[in-house]
Copies of this chain bind each other. A is one copy, B any other.
Amino acid sequence: MRFTSEQRLDDGVLERRFTLGEIPGILWTPGSASAPVPLILMGHPGGLHRMYPRLVARARHCAAEGFAAATLELPWSGDRPRSAAAEETRADLHRALKAGEPVDDELVDRLVLPLVEKAVPEWRAALDALLPLPGIGGPVGYSGGVISIGIRLAVVEPRISAALLFAGSFVPRTLFEEARQVTIPLQVLLQWDDEGNDRQLALDLFDAFGAREKTLHANMGGHTGVPHFEGDAGNRFFARHLR
């Protein structure tokens, strides 16, 4: 991992951009901390530049609670090399949505599974690089979407102790099976009136999770309208489980 830039935000948070091999990422750490702080991996739908305003707001919120936050660019997104297969699949998705056709399991698999397969080892490699940094301690939380990446990480990565998952994207059937193996504490966010998301599928997924402590927070406001108070609720969830 190589740091490429560093800036101090007005609230004292230190923002450092880095590359992990060819993958761009950002690390935010609280302005002042006397001991190493837990780390939250912040998931997102891809496109660091486009997502930056929302990511930095989430990171500041984490830092205010005394957490570090980090994110990585997703495969085939932002400044990373495109994949012809992924582009074709996205085009198929847009065609299906535009035509009002159902998005079938085969398309969901093609859309999500390669992303999960490629991204999850990258996020684990990011943990290898981030956790030894001075000021960063365990344990680790995962927060956000893509929910399928969060599910797989929760199953395969023992350093992740709690996850706040955003149920707002397509989930392949096989990830439903993996959800049963998730036993870490979960908080699942669902936008009740998210027109692009299948509410019943999200409820079925919440039901499938094998965690003994799992909480569903459903709110109004559409896909991007998660209420501000859920940021506080997320901090309290992680404070319970990462401290």
Contact = CB atoms under 8 A, between A and B. Distances in A.
Contacts of A206: 192, 218
Contacts of A233: 233, 236
A220 interface: yes
B212 A215 contact: no
A198 to B, nearest CB: 14
A215 B193 CA distance: 12
Contacts of A213: 220, 227
Interface size class of A (residues with CB under 8 A): 10 to 19
B217 A215 contact: yes
B232 A236 contact: yes
A220 B212 contact: yes
Given A229-B240, A233-B233, A236-B229, A215 B219 contact: yes
A205 to B, nearest CB: 13
17 contacts: A192-B206, A192-B216, A213-B220, A213-B227, A214-B220, A215-B219, A215-B227, A216-B216, A216-B217, A216-B218, A216-B219, A217-B217, A218-B218, A229-B236, A232-B236, A233-B233, A233-B236
The 4 residue pairs across chains A and B that have the minimum distance between CB atoms: A216-B218, A215-B219, A214-B220, A217-B217
Nearest to A203: B203
Given A207-B192, A229-B236, A229-B240, A218 B215 contact: yes
Contacts of A220: 212-214
A227 B186 CA distance: 13
A23 B83 CA distance: 71
